């Protein structure tokens, strides 16, 4: 069905805008008048119009505009507050669409509102926008609608989204400084090797002086990078393509997941990150009324390591046979003892959600401390490496100069 963008006046005289689904422009105007909106401008969306040329966003996912996690969390919290205040779902979605700061958000909310008005459930309407709302989000909303506690589920979803966004921001913040330092260091060294060293090499060659070994090595490196830089880029592209092709296979992905967990210090940190997301997500689903086995099936999607995801699948199958989740996760040998023991305590006491929340809090603190320690160690290590490289380059340049000075004397 075509989608029309409109501007108009509401019954109270306020200016409104949004999108609406209709078979034709005439039907769209009629539907707007039924809603109490008098359209002043109505145009079919170019991206949905027949014969429209597809844009770059249709082919390259990175160019597709999505709602930031913080904005999604705020929108979820506002929708829950409106429903809790007794506002009807269609009216609440319309109010959110009017005050949305971004055009993409207004368009999405208007489409969700139209789908709900035509009889769809909120979960089904959100599922039409899979690039914005994950399966986990839609599943929790569907559980909330079934249990008649949609506003409570939306509140938990907002808290979950905020916690996840805060956790990701902490990880990125901890890793940003070392990455920036590394990029700056490589940039400086590339400039010296490809621009400064060749000019100095020309002077040495004109003097026909015997050059030290490190000077010849530096000049050879500079010559290679200057003349065969395309070969280096081709090699990097080949390696990236080969690794991507290998990771696209089941055996390659399995090898990568296994090797990643065996890296000292980094492997345990990755396990803590995954366990924090697993525990937080599972606790949110269980608190929203989702049963354990469907919740585990949904949580598997947030576990990025294949070995841990397979262990969760195996645990789900054993739970169907009557075993406890903590016991099955401990048997895999991949999850930390704290997680399995806290789950066992939660299963015995009937407070599994609370125990999972505590586990998630604990692992998030441990990840934050691990990243802080990692950056603390990386900063002096990178400084030492960069100082060693600069010292090598200085000696490679200065030693021939000293030799020329001695010859001139």
What are the structural domain ranges in the chain?
A: 1-64, 66-133, 266-367
pLDDT digits (tens, 9 = 90+) for 355-395: 988 988 898 888 888 877 877 777 788 778 878 887 887 78
Instruction: Report the distance separating Cα 376 and Cα 208, nearest Å.
Output: 47
pLDDT of the residue at 65: 47
pLDDT digits (tens, 9 = 90+) for 176-228: 777 787 788 777 777 777 777 777 777 776 766 677 787 788 778 777 877 88
pLDDT of the residue at 304: 79
pLDDT of the residue at 407: 57
pLDDT band at 116 (very low <50, low <70, confident <90, very high): confident
Put simply, whether the predicted model's pTM sits higher than 0.75 gets the answer no
Which range scores top for mean pLDDT: 32-41, 187-196, 202-211, 254-263? 254-263
Residues whose CB is less than 8 angstroms from the CB of residue 237 and which lie 6 or more positions away in sequence, other chains included: none
Domain 266-367 -> CATH class? mainly alpha
Secondary structure (3-state) at 119: coil
pLDDT digits (tens, 9 = 90+) for 122-146: 888 888 888 888 777 887 787 777 7
Instruction: Report the distance separating Cα 18 and Cα 4, nearest Å.
Output: 8
- CATH topology for 1-64 is Ubiquitin-like (UB roll) (3.10.20)
pLDDT of the residue at 234: 92
Q: Put residue 318 in one of left, alpha, beta given phi > 0 → left and psi -120 to 50 → alpha.
A: alpha
Cβ atoms within 10 A of the Cβ of 219, count? 22
- Into which CATH architecture does domain 66-133 fall? Up-down Bundle (1.20)
| pLDDT of 254 strictly over 80 | yes
* Burial category of 118 from C-beta neighbours within 10 Å (exposed 0-12, middle 13-18, buried 19 and up): exposed
Instruction: Report the distance separating Cα 339 and Cα 272, nearest Å.
Output: 10
The yes-or-no answer to whether 1-64 and 66-133 have a common fold is no
* Percent of the chain scoring above 90 in pLDDT: 1
Instruction: Report the distance separating Cα 281 and Cα 287, nearest Å.
Output: 10
| pLDDT of 63 strictly over 50 | no
């Amino acid at each position: 069905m075509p989608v029309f963008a409109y501007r108009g006046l509401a019954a109270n005289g306020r200016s409104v805008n949004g999108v609406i689904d209709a078979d034709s422009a005439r039907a769209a105007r009629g539907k707007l008048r039924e809603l109490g909106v008098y359209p002043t401008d109505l145009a079919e969306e170019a991206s949905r119009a027949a014969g429209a040329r597809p844009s770059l966003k249709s082919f390259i996912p990175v160019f597709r505009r999505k709602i930031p996690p913080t904005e999604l969390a705020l929108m979820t919290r506002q929708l829950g507050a409106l429903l809790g205040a007794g506002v009807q779902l269609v009216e609440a979605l319309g109010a959110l669409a009017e005050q949305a700061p971004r055009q993409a958000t207004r368009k999405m909310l208007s489409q969700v509102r139209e789908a709900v008005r035509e009889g769809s459930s909120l979960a089904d309407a959100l599922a039409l926008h899979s690039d914005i709302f994950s399966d986990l989000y839609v599943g929790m909303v569907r559980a909330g609608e079934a249990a008649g506690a949609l506003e409570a589920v939306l509140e938990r979803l907002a808290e979950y989204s905020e916690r996840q966004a805060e956790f990701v921001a902490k990880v990125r913040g901890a890793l940003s400084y070392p990455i920036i330092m590394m990029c700056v260091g490589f940039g400086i060294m590339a400039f010296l090797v490809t621009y400064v060293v060749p000019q100095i090499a020309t002077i040495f060659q004109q003097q026909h002086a015997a050059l030290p070994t490190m000077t010849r090595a530096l000049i050879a490196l500079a010559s290679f990078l200057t003349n065969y830089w395309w070969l280096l880029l081709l090699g990097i592209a080949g390696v990236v393509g080969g690794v991507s092709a290998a990771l696209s296979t089941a055996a390659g992905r399995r090898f990568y997941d296994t090797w990643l967990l065996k890296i000292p210090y980094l492997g345990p940190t990755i396990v803590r990150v995954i366990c924090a997301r697993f525990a937080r997500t599972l606790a949110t689903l269980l608190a929203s009324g989702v049963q354990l086995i469907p919740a585990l099936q949904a949580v598997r999607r947030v576990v990025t390591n294949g070995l841990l995801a397979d262990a969760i699948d195996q645990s789900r199958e054993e739970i169907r046979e009557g075993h406890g989740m903590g016991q099955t996760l401990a048997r895999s040998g991949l999850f930390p003892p704290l997680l399995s023991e806290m789950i066992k305590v939660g299963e015995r006491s009937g407070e599994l959600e609370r125990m999972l929340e505590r586990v998630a809090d604990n692992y998030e603190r441990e990840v934050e401390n691990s990243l802080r320690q990692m950056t603390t160690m990386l900063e002096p290590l990178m400084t030492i490496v960069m100082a060693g490289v600069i010292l090598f380059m200085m000696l490679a340049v200065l030693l021939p100069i000293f030799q020329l000075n001695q010859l001139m004397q």
